[in-house]
Copies of this chain bind each other. A is one copy, B any other.
Amino acid sequence: MRVELAKHYGFCFGVKRAIKIAEDSKNASTIGPLIHNNEEINRLKSDFNVKTLHSIDDINDAKKAIIRTHGIPKGDLAYLKQKGINIVDATCPFVTKPQQICEQMSEEGYDIVIFGDVNHPEVKGVASYAKTRTHVVLSVDEVKNINFSNKIAVVSQTTRKIDEFLEITNYLVTNYKEVRVFNTICNATFDNQDAAKELAKRSDIMVVIGGKNSSNTKQLHGICKEFCDDSFLIESEKEIKNEWFKNKNRCGVTAGASTPDWIIQKVIGKINKI
């Protein structure tokens, strides 16, 4: 059986990087869950004694704090520094970017528009870096109710869709003189989908690893089925059936955005033995 992993699968670049940082930071505490996967959080706790704090208010006893991929507000960062806590920054570089843009653009006097959810930790962090008038919006209708100056800088929460971002920038470009658009959308989810499609097209069987209730995993499975009839969705290697692989030569493997690499490796190990 020839097994091939999709070009993009599972965790995005930022999450993979954060986990590596956590593994290298024994006995540290993350402020909020590092990723949305309990098995992985438990593994970091048992193998590296990396604890998960509910919020920054629980920081008291911690010596070393890991900042997760979403980043944190500028004020919280200052608070940690002031308390003399050793800070390990696992903020995704794709999130650091809009933080820096907000800071610089507001220093240059631009009104700031952040396309995103005002309650999302990433957006709270990004918004905290702006000093000038900052507007967090989720739709072009919200933008229409705002009177901007003639210099506007626009960024996006990394996980938003480009179509809705363009609706907002189109409105602004049409109605204001200078709009400085920073496309800070990260295509990780879409990259996984594109790679799954590409691999499914040239595979005899596709194995999709991820939560059966995870909408992003189900979407991946749907895409694979479209291009490869024998596409199976599993949560772990235990669900693999030998009969699936009869008369097949090429097996493609992909995984949802919350599936840790070690689960994927177990699946591949088992397929290789068939």
Bound-state CA distance A169–B183 (Å) is: 12
A173 in the interface (beta carbon within 8 A): yes
> Copies of this chain, how many?
2
Bound-state CA distance A183–B173 (Å) is: 6
> A180-192 interface mask toward B, CB cutoff 8 Å, 1 = contact, 0 = none?
1111000000000
Q: How many residues of A contact B (CB 8 A)?
A: 15
A170 in the interface (beta carbon within 8 A): yes
A166-B173, A173-B166 known; A179-B181 Cβ under 8 A:
yes
Q: Please determine whether A180 and B183 come into contact, CB atoms closer than 8 angstroms.
A: no
Question: B-contacting residues of A (Cβ < 8 Å)?
Answer: 162, 165-166, 169-170, 173-174, 176-183
Q: Please determine whether A177 and B173 come into contact, CB atoms closer than 8 angstroms.
A: no
Q: Please determine whether A166 and B176 come into contact, CB atoms closer than 8 angstroms.
A: no
**Min C-beta distance of A62 to chain B, whole Å:** 36
A178-B181, A178-B183, A181-B181 known; 20 other A-B pairs, CB under 8 Å?
Answer: A162-B173, A165-B173, A166-B170, A166-B173, A169-B169, A169-B170, A169-B173, A169-B181, A170-B170, A173-B181, A173-B183, A176-B183, A177-B182, A178-B180, A178-B182, A179-B180, A179-B181, A179-B183, A180-B180, A180-B181
